[in-house]
Structures are given as structure tokens and as C-alpha cells.
């Protein structure tokens, strides 16, 4: 009787704590893109541009205008969709007709930067 009066408040205090710690954070790959998207500042875009010139230019051409092997990514016309999640998937998982998968060669954060860069091209006149 007396014991239950002591343990019940203790459970009430510690149970939410345990639940809060045990619950995984909701941030997944696609949330990360949204984060990069919302603060797609010039630094993020510049980092994406650098990554693009290192890994993607060979196929997609200068400023992603299209190359010998890869289609233009600057026209705003995407076969697999131009949304953040679509672009993220195209880059991380690859696409069947010759687009290599970049995960895990590139981190989620780097892929987010590339998405921000491709977005900036679509906003450009």
C-alpha cells in the first residue's frame, strides 16, 4: 500500500523519459533534404556545385546542361520527377538507364547539397 504510493510517481516521471530516449529521431534521408532545401543558402549551393563538377560533369555536362551520356538536369524537365525527394532518389539509388547509385559513396548530406545545386539551376533565368 505504502510502497505503491512511492513507486507510482517514480514511474510517472521516468517512463516518459525512457520513451523519449528510446524513440529514434524522425530525421531520415528525405528529412535531411528538406533541411538542406529550406536553408539552401549560397554555401550549400556552392558545395553542391563543387561536388557536381567532381562527380557528375563527365556525364551531365557543364552546369548540368546535358552531356554525351547524361540528360540535362537544368531544363526543369525530369523523367523521374524534379521534387527534392525524386532528385535525392535519382542520385542516391541511381536510375536504370545508366545513372549510377551514389550512396554510400556520397553522404546524405552531400546528396542534399547536390539537390540544392540542381534546384538553384532551375531557379536561374
Contact footprint for ligand HEC (CB under 6 A)? 52, 55-56, 58-60, 69-71, 73, 78-80, 87, 90-91, 95-100, 102, 114
- How far is it, in rounded angstroms, from Cα 37 to Cα 32? 8
Residue 35 or 72: which CB sits closer to ligand HEC?
Answer: 72
CB of 17 to ligand HEC, least distance (A): 42
Residue 11 or 53: which CB sits closer to ligand HEC?
Answer: 53
- How far is it, in rounded angstroms, from Cα 60 to Cα 67? 5
Q: Identify whether the C-beta of residue 48 lies closer than 8 Å to the C-beta of residue 114.
A: yes
- How far is it, in rounded angstroms, from Cα 101 to Cα 98? 10
CB of 92 to ligand HEC, least distance (A): 9
Amino acid at each position: 500500500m505504502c510502497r505503491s504510493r512511492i513507486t507510482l510517481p517514480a514511474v510517472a516521471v521516468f517512463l516518459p523519459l525512457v520513451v523519449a530516449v528510446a524513440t529514434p529521431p524522425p530525421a531520415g534521408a528525405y528529412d535531411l533534404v528538406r533541411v538542406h532545401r529550406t536553408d539552401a543558402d549560397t554555401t550549400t549551393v556552392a558545395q553542391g556545385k563543387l561536388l557536381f563538377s567532381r562527380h557528375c560533369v563527365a556525364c551531365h555536362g557543364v552546369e548540368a546542361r546535358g552531356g554525351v551520356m547524361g540528360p540535362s538536369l537544368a531544363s526543369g524537365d525530369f523523367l523521374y520527377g524534379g521534387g527534392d525527394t525524386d532528385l535525392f532518389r535519382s542520385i542516391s539509388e541511381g536510375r536504370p538507364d545508366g545513372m549510377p547509385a551514389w550512396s554510400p559513396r556520397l553522404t546524405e548530406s552531400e546528396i542534399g547539397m547536390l539537390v540544392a545545386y540542381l534546384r538553384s539551376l532551375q531557379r536561374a533565368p
